Amino acid sequence: MVGMLTPQKLRAIRAMRGMTQAELAELAGISPVSIATFESGKSDMRASTVVKLCQALGVTVTYRVDGTEISGP
């Protein structure tokens, strides 16, 4: 998985924001089925999907590159 957005973190942040999977999917521009699949850990997220989800959730994207943490929007 790219970045630090694990299935557990995705589910927890979404719940803290009081969002349903369908609401998050609409805000991120992806399907509700994809949200369920990501949260269950059955599918890995692409970097572009991580960015969309983090933007929709209002959190920072964090990546590790060569041991260095890089944050984005």
Rounded CA-CA distance 25/67 in Å is 31
Query: So what's the pLDDT on residue 2?
Result: 43
**What pLDDT digit, counting tens, does each position of 8-65 carry?**
989 999 999 999 999 999 999 999 999 999 999 998 888 889 889 988 998 887 655 5
Q: How confident is the model at residue 6 (pLDDT cuts 50, 70, 90)?
A: confident
Helix (H) or strand (E) holding 70: strand 68-72
Domain assignment present for 2: no
Contact 23, 56 (CB under 8 A): no
**Domain count of the chain?**
1
Q: What is the pLDDT of residue 37?
A: 96
Which CATH number does the domain housing residue 39 bear? 1.10.260.40
Dist CA 61 CA 50 (whole Å): 7
b/e sequence 42-58, b meaning 16+ C-beta within 10 Å: eeebeeebbbbbbbbbe
Residue 13 lies in a domain: yes
User: What pLDDT score was predicted for residue 15?
Assistant: 94
Give the domain range for residue 64: 7-72
Question: pTM here?
Answer: 0.79
